[in-house]
């Protein structure tokens, strides 16, 4: 088995504020692989004032999706980085079927398909409460929740523009109309497990680890080493 086939290549699906970012961060540290978030990359482009950032800014603030070709290009470039050769966790990408198809093509060109997709399912009311009370420490990137995971006094907090209620509702609608179609897409490839997103981050994390073991035979055991006993799309 080549090294590429021992890597975890995971897509996290789930509506805005379902916990993809939090879970992705923890899993990435456990497995020693990068978490790749198109939302983070677009926010960085916006903050840097690049052409892409300027274009994405208005779209993101409106709670809409940035055009497929732009995010696909971002992901293509990011997947070419050396750290992504050991595996990766995708958070917020793909969000449409054309993005999922493009991802399959990009990975096929590199000879390394996805081996898991986890769908974090959370009731709408809870998603709204999580997003509107979510805050990020600008210095550490750590995500807090004013009610369930309060920040320390020292944190320098920002509230994402698009986490205001009116925009959250639009983002949830975009999820339902565009991204929910990825559930049958990955089910059809026998790569998907659903996980209940209600609970503490560590409870949800345990469910994800169990699902990953079922799907791939993988256990991180808290170490960066990873063995995949059963492949995914590549081998089906
Ligand atoms: P997120 O941080 O994943 O909630 O993304 C924040 C915003 O960035 C989304 O509401 C979209 O406007 C944009 N965005 C992030 N990822 C994608 C994607 N894969 N496709 C289209 N737009 C995206």
Only one residue has tokens 């677009």, namely 42
Give every CB contact of residue 196 below 8 A, 6+ residues apart in sequence.
121, 204, 207
Strand 143-145 versus strand 134-137 pairing type = antiparallel
Summarised one tens digit per residue, pLDDT across range 10-37 is 999 999 999 999 999 999 999 999 999 9
| Ligand 1 centre distance from Cα of residue 67 (Å) | 10
In a domain, 140, yes or no: no
Please report whether residue 83 resides in a domain. Answer: yes
Q: How far is the CA of 169 from the centre of ligand 1 (A)?
A: 14
Within a domain: 22: yes
59-89, pLDDT tens digit by residue?
999 999 999 999 999 999 999 999 999 999 9
What predicted TM-score, i.e. pTM, was given to this entire model? Answer: 0.88
The answer to whether residue 53 sits within a structural domain is: yes
Q: Is 233 contained in some domain?
A: no
CATH, residue 65: 3.40.50.300
13 in any annotated domain: yes
Domain membership flag for residue 76 = yes
65 C-beta closer than 6 A to ligand 1: yes
Using the predicted structure, report yes or no on whether residue 122 has a pLDDT greater than 80: yes
- Is residue 164 situated within a structural domain? no
Instruction: Please tell me if the CB atom of residue 14 comes closer than 6 angstroms to any atom of ligand 1.
Output: no
What is the 161 CA–ligand 1 centroid distance (Å)? 13
Per the structure, the complete domain to which residue 92 belongs is given by 3-122+180-220
Task: Look at the chain and report how many structural domains it folds into.
Answer: 1
- The SS3 of residue 62 is coil
């Amino acid at each position: 088995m080549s090294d590429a086939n021992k890597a975890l290549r995971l897509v996290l699906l789930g509506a805005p504020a379902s916990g993809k970012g939090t879970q992705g961060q923890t899993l990435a540290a456990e497995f020693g692989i990068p978490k790749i978030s198109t939302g983070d990359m677009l926010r960085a482009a916006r903050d840097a004032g690049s052409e892409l950032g300027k274009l994405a800014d208005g779209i993101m603030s409106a709670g809409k999706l940035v055009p497929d070709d732009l995010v696909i290009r971002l992901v293509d470039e990011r997947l070419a980085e050396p750290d992504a050769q050991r595996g990766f966790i995708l958070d917020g990408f793909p969000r449409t079927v054309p993005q999922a198809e493009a991802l399959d093509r990009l990975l096929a060109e590199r000879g390394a398909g996805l081996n898991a997709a986890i769908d974090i399912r959370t009731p709408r009311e809870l998603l709204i409460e999580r997003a509107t009370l979510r805050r990020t420490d600008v210095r550490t990137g750590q995500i807090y929740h004013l009610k369930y995971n309060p920040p320390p006094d020292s944190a320098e907090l920002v509230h994402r523009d698009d986490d205001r209620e009116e925009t959250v509702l639009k983002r949830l609608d975009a999820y339902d109309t565009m991204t929910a179609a990825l559930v049958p897409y990955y089910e059809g490839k026998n790569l998907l497990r659903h996980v209940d997103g209600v609970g503490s981050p560590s409870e949800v994390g345990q469910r994800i680890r169990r699902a990953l073991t079922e799907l791939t035979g993988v256990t991180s055991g808290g170490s960066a080493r990873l063995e995949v006993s059963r492949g995914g799309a590549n081998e089906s």
